[in-house]
Amino acid sequence: MQKKTRVGVLVSDRGTNLQSIINACRDKSFPVQIAIVISNVSSAYALKRAKVAGIPTAVVDHNKFASRSGFEGAIIQHLKKAKIDLLCLAGFMRVLSPKLVGAFKNKIMNIHPALLPSFPGLHAQRQALEHGVKVSGVTVHFVDEGTDTGPIILQHPVPVMDDDTEEALSKRILKWEHKLYVDAVRLFVDGKLKVEGRRVLHV
């Protein structure tokens, strides 16, 4: 039997991408165990999703730390205690410093609702509509020290309709987020990702 990859997930809000990974873990052919879910917001609904699934949780409130270094140090302690192999950001609304990125080099994934490098940062769907693009989409990437600048693992295009609102476009993109994140985790678990500079090769 294949050893299960231990995944940690950082969340701040609803956790729908967390739920997609939880759902995938119910398939015995998906060798992943979510070892811990950590939130910087105690009221995040994602924590309830984790508890319903029987996953250990922790709250590390950034407001209770005098520095980002202290905040991230506490997160790192939780992750190392949980012996994670991969860290997934699922709506985690804090930019990671080189300290946390360096602790799990090329082992941190994030998902972004745009075709990076276009429209990084917040409100990517609004940015796409304001810019008038005809195609938006989803990107899963490894996290580096920048904001949405890490090596790209997977992307999928989502057409922008003439009558789209930010909400409508977000909903269509979200459906692909759920699929693409699980696909990217699977590639990592199967040892099929190799980072060479800015490129992620599927080996």
- Select which of 112, 123, 131, 178 is catalytic: 112
Residue 33 backbone dihedrals phi, psi, to 5 degrees: -120, 120
Among this protein's residues, is 123 annotated catalytic? no
166-189 helix and 16-25 helix, angle to the nearest 10 degrees: 40
Tokens standing for residue 61: 């409130």
Q: How many Å apart are CA 7 and CA 115, to the nearest integer? A: 25
Q: Kindly list the catalytic residues.
A: 112
